[in-house]
């Protein structure tokens, strides 16, 4: 709270110093999005539309370092700034954040994270145009700090967050409704994937190749290793498919549990933790279908126009969802659903039973998968 008080005290001087920069041509733009994989993928329309409008400007994107490979080959992004978790903790950390942003000499800054330190840092960095979101779930401190933005776009329940992002851009002369997501792979991605598939899919590649996104970064959304195993077995036995288990290195224990519960392990390729986020799109492009809980890999597949089944559980599908024509969302209609929103995401079920996810059966998912694959 002390840095907010200091900001109010020094705000007259900061405003005066910022005014002098307003007549400068726009040459540097910063977008801040430090959320998880799915959120970053759903933010890519912002990068595309900003670059389309300001093609001569340098676009820098500040992200969580874990997501760096998602943007390394994105032609709309000129610079990636990795911001470690806890970097701006405490007053000293916030001063370091201000210094980092100030050194960029940006003309426009857009934060897709409605976060007090980012809003304050943009102001102290003397950036003439500072844009942020007024989320549907907002605290008193953020409400005070947001006064230092030159423009705030209110997020309205029932509207995709990506649509709110694009509404923000109208303030800088960008009028677009194109929420299509962008995912780019590395130049050697296809070669790496083909090498693995050639040794695993013997004697030949299957006509039906299904990906299973085995987990989520938020354990509240977990469907369970046993369900994933039973579903995979049934898909293999009844539809003759091959399965690829997909996840990060920290999910290896879950993939082990899935395989231990399966009878048809010989039809499974376990690629959990084996491919980077810049290589993974090349695998997903080869899938007939991707099935998983509401996680980043679902949004990667949706961006690549791959059919997906999103086992949504507690997630707010009005905030963020797969938007492709081949996307199916499975969600139970309980009074407590949704409880997990883009700007307010619990990690524990209030009722301690997670019925919104555990009541979704293998039979339901299998029937929808069969229907999608038959088409």
What does the pLDDT look like over 261-319, one tens digit per residue? 999 999 999 999 999 999 999 999 999 999 999 999 999 999 999 999 999 999 999 99
pLDDT of residue 205: 60
152, β-bridge pairs: 132
The more confidently predicted of residues 200 and 70 is 70
- Look-up of token digits 């409704």: 177
- Digit-coded pLDDT (tens) for 317-338: 999 999 999 999 999 999 999 9
Q: Mean pLDDT, the chain, as a whole number?
A: 94
Confidence of residue 207 (pLDDT cuts 50, 70, 90): confident
pLDDT of residue 237: 96
pLDDT of residue 285: 97
Confidence of residue 203 (pLDDT cuts 50, 70, 90): low
Contact 296, 36 (CB under 8 A): yes
Closest CA to 68 of 58, 78, 82, 88: 82
- Look-up of token digits 């962008």: 182
- Digit-coded pLDDT (tens) for 228-266: 999 999 999 999 999 999 999 999 999 999 999 999 999
Burial class for 39, CB neighbours closer than 10 Å (0-12, 13-18, 19+): buried
Count of C-beta atoms within a 10 Å radius of residue 172: 18
| % residues pLDDT > 90 (the chain) | 85
Q: How far apart are CA 81 and CA 67, in angstroms?
A: 11
Q: How far apart are CA 290 and CA 286, in angstroms?
A: 10
- Digit-coded pLDDT (tens) for 338-363: 999 999 999 999 998 999 999 999 99
Give the dihedral of Cα atoms 113, 108, 80, 97; nearest 10 deg. -60
Closest CA to 180 of 46, 52, 59, 34: 46
Q: Indicate the pairing of strand 28-32 with strand 58-63.
A: parallel
pTM of this structure: 0.95
Q: Judge whether residue 114 has pLDDT over 70.
A: yes
Distances (CA, A) of 269 to 144, 151, 320: 51, 49, 30
Sheet containing strand 28-32, strands side by side: 79-82, 58-63, 28-32, 108-111, 129-134, 151-154
Confidence of residue 194 (pLDDT cuts 50, 70, 90): very high
């Amino acid at each position: 709270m002390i840095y907010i008080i200091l900001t109010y005290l020094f705000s007259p001087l900061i405003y005066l110093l910022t005014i002098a920069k307003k007549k400068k041509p726009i040459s540097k733009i910063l977008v801040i999005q430090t959320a998880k994989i799915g959120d970053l993928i759903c933010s890519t329309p912002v990068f595309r539309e900003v670059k389309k409008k300001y093609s001569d400007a340098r676009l820098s994107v500040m992200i969580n370092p874990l997501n760096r490979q998602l943007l390394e080959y994105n032609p709309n992004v000129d610079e990636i700034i990795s911001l470690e978790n806890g970097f701006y903790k405490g007053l000293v950390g916030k001063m370091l954040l201000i210094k980092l942003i100030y050194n960029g000499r940006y003309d426009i800054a857009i934060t897709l994270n409605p976060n007090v330190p980012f809003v304050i840092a943009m102001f102290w960095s003397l950036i003439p145009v500072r844009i942020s979101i007024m989320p549907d779930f907002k605290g008193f401190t953020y409400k005070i700090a947001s006064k230092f933005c030159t423009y705030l776009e209110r997020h309205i329940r029932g509207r995709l967050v990506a649509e709110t992002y694009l509404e923000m851009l109208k303030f800088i002369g960008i009028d677009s409704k194109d929420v299509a997501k962008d995912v780019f792979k590395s130049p050697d991605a296809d070669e790496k994937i083909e090498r693995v598939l050639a040794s695993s899919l013997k004697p030949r590649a299957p006509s039906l190749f299904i990906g299973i996104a085995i987990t989520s970064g938020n354990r509240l959304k977990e469907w369970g290793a046993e369900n994933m195993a039973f579903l995979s077995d049934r898909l293999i036995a009844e539809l003759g498919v091959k399965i690829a288990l997909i996840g990060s290195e920290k999910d290896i224990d879950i993939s082990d549990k899935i395989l231990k519960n399966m009878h048809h392990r010989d039809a499974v390729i376990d690629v959990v933790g084996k491919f980077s986020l810049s290589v993974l799109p090349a695998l997903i492009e080869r899938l007939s279908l991707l099935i998983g809980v509401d996680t980043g890999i679902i949004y990667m597949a949706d961006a690549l126009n791959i059919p997906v089944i999103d086992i949504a559980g507690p997630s707010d599908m009005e905030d963020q969802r797969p938007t492709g024509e081949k996307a199916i969302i499975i969600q139970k209609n309980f009074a407590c659903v949704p409880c997990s929103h883009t700007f307010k995401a619990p990690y524990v079920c209030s009722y301690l039973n997670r019925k919104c996810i555990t009541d979704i059966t293998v039979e339901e998912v299998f029937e929808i998968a069969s229907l999608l694959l038959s088409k």
